[in-house]
C-alpha cells in the first residue's frame, strides 16, 4: 500500500494543525509531502516554518493515499486555486482519505462536493 500523504501549505497555516498530524503520520510510517504554489519556506500563524517540497502544479492525486488540509488562513487563499480544487475532487473521486481540520474544510466545501456538503459545519464555513 502506498504510504504517502499530501498536504497543502502556504503562509499563515495553523501551525499545530499541520505539525501535529504530520509528526503522528511519520510515527505511523507515512511520508508527508507539502505542496505549495512555490518551493520555499512558509510561516504559520505562530511563526513555525514549513518547507514545501512539491509544487501544487506538479502534484498528482494518484501518487498519494490521502490528503490532509490544515486550517489557518491558508485554506482561504488556496480555495481559490483551481489546481487545489481539482486535486481535492480527485481524492474524493478515488475514494481516498480527505482529512481537514477547522478552516481546512473551506477547500472541500468550496468545491461543492456532495460528500463534503453532508458534513457538519458552522454557517461561516459554507460555500457562498
Instruction: Please give the positions annotated as active site.
Output: 103
β-pairing verdict for 41-43 and 49-51:
antiparallel
Answer whether 11's CB lies under 8 Å from 78's CB: no
What phi and psi values does residue 34 have, to the nearest 5 degrees?
-105, 110
Answer whether 15's CB lies under 8 Å from 42's CB: no
What phi and psi values does residue 27 have, to the nearest 5 degrees?
-60, -30
User: Which three cell numbers mark 87?
Assistant: 486535486
Answer whether 42's CB lies under 8 Å from 52's CB: yes
Amino acid at each position: 500500500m502506498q504510504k504517502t500523504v499530501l498536504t497543502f501549505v502556504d503562509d499563515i497555516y495553523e501551525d499545530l494543525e499541520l505539525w501535529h498530524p504530520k509528526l503522528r503520520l511519520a510515527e505511523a510510517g507515512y511520508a508527508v509531502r507539502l505542496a505549495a504554489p512555490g518551493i520555499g519556506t512558509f510561516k504559520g500563524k505562530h511563526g513555525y516554518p514549513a518547507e514545501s517540497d512539491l509544487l501544487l502544479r506538479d502534484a498528482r492525486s494518484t501518487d498519494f493515499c490521502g490528503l490532509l488540509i490544515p486550517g489557518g488562513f491558508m485554506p482561504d487563499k488556496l480555495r481559490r486555486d483551481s489546481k487545489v480544487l481539482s486535486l481535492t475532487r480527485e481524492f474524493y473521486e478515488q475514494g481516498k482519505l480527505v482529512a481537514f481540520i477547522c478552516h481546512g474544510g473551506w477547500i472541500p466545501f468550496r468545491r461543492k462536493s456532495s460528500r463534503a456538503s453532508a458534513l457538519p459545519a458552522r454557517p461561516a464555513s459554507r460555500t457562498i
